[in-house]
Structures are given as structure tokens and as C-alpha cells.
Amino acid sequence: MAASNKNLDAAIQARFSGSVNPSKAATYAQSLLDKANAAMAKKALLSVNSGVADQQGIHPHPWHCHTLCTGRTTKEVLLIDLQTPRALSVKDPDQSYIDLHQALGHPSLTYLKKSFPNLSIPNIECSVCDVSKMHRQPFSGSFPIATKPLEIIHMDLCGPMSPPSWGGNFYFLKIINGYSKYHFIFPIKLKSNMFQTFSMFLSKVKNASGHKLISVVSDNSGEFVNNSFQSSFAAKGIKHLTSAPYTPQQNPFTKRGN
């Protein structure tokens, strides 16, 4: 709806949602303009508060209008009572300190107090922080040191490899002499060929060196801890030493060469 006043320099446009009687539009707009401040009229502003105070500014239709919000008047300013959405809150009123600590990425207690100086934050016990700050103790030399050839050997299986070798091998068995640190590499196609490959190696080096194998060091995987290896070790009097599960650093001789 648009209405103009001869006493004003320009027309003032007012936009409303609803319907109005065309025959009374000019009279209704003029009544509203009389409530406006003459100085503010040039900026297309309307004093709604003045019209409400005189009970003339707003005339809702009983059938086509509904209440959107309610409020109060403070110093000639209309204030609408709204509730702050919880999604826009910095901190949920029902949120605990541990939830706030986790939402911010597990900061320290000192940093959390600096971020929220107005909050009295007690000591926070976070199990995730306790686990992440734990340090594993270094491994001591638990495995014996070889003093002569073939006294101790270290074994490890590597693979599967993609793509396979030219010969179609997906794995290789690595055996290291604990005394000379010499590496023996045996490509194999299947894990089931490991025991046969180890038996051939043992017979070959025993005849070539004249020494007897005393101990074998490997990880605790099923490729080495099985009936075939255990029966062979027991029959030949070989001691089998295994590293702790999920600790490859305990057997560094084989892992360094991978």
C-alpha cells in the first residue's frame, strides 16, 4: 500500500500482509501518517508505538489476523519477548563440565578456566585424557645376545604384497642370524609353505656351518606358533622365544629390514 502527504517531500510506502478496503485505504494511510514523526517521515519510518499508544495504529481483522508475538513497551520502544534458542547458546544450561571439556577437544583445566573465567569449574576427571597421556615403558634387552654363529636366529613373515613378484610370490620369509646379522630371504607363495622353507634352511645352514641352532625369535602370530613349528622345535631341542602381542619393536632385528 502506498500513501502520500502533501506536507511531505516524498511518498511513504507501507507494506502490510492482509487485505484492506480500497475505498478506505487513503483515509487509513493518512491516519497512520499523522502518528509519524515529521522528521522521520523522510526516511520512510513509521511510529508504530505512537499509534498503539492512541489505540489507532493497528486494527486487526477478527477473521484474517492471528497473533505472532507479544511484548511490552519500554521508553517508547516495543520489546518482543523471545526465548534464546539453545542451539545458538555457547553453553547448554544443562551441560556438565565434562561435556564442555569433550566438546572443545579435551583442553587442559587451565585453558578451560581461561576460556570461561565466569564459570567455577572444578577438577575434571577425563578417562580419555588419562589414557592419551600415558607413556609406554621402553623395552629392555629381554632376548639373549648371540655369541656364536647360528646360536640365535630371528624370523619374520612379510606380506601379502601387491602386486606379487614375477614368480607369483606374495610373501617372503626373512631369517636373520643373530650373531653376524646376515639376512636370508626366501620368497613364498602361500603361508602354508613357511614350515617347509624353514626346514630346508635349517638343514642347509647346519651342514654348511657345523653349528647347532639353539634359539628362534619370532612374533606371536599363528604362522610361527603352530603344531608344525612347535613339534619340530621340541624334537630338535630348539628354544622358541616370542615377542609380546602387538609390540613389533621388541624384535627390532627383523622389523628394521622390512
pLDDT digits (tens, 9 = 90+) for 50-65: 666 655 555 555 666 6
> Mean pLDDT for the chain?
74
The residue among 83 and 141 whose pLDDT is bigger is 83
Q: Under CATH, which number does the domain 152-255 receive?
A: 3.30.420.10
Q: What is residue 90's predicted lDDT score, i.e. its pLDDT?
A: 57
**What confidence category does residue 232 fall into, taking pLDDT thresholds of 50, 70 and 90?**
very high
Residue 113, H or E segment: helix 109-115
pLDDT at position 257, please? Answer: 62
Q: For residue 29, how many other CB atoms are within 10 A of its CB?
A: 19
pLDDT bin (cut points 50, 70, 90) of residue 43 is very low
Contacts of 167 (CB under 8 A, 6+ apart): 187
Q: What whole-number distance in Å separates Cα of residue 112 and Cα of residue 103?
A: 11
Measured at the CA of 188, the angle between CA 182 and CA 185, to 5 degrees, comes to 10
The span from the CA of 150 to the CA of 152, in Å, is 5
pLDDT digits (tens, 9 = 90+) for 123-143: 888 888 888 888 777 666 567
pLDDT attached to residue 22:
46
Q: Kindly state the cell numbers that stand for 15.
A: 507494506
Quick one: cell of 12?
511513504
What residues have CB less than 8 Å from 233, skipping those under 6 apart? 216, 239, 240
Domain map (residue ranges) of the chain: 2-80, 93-130, 152-255
Q: Check if the beta carbon of residue 254 is closer than 8 Å to that of residue 221.
A: no
Between 194-209 and 227-236, two packed helices, what is the crossing angle to 10 degrees? 20
Number of neighbours of residue 253 by Cβ within 10 angstroms: 19
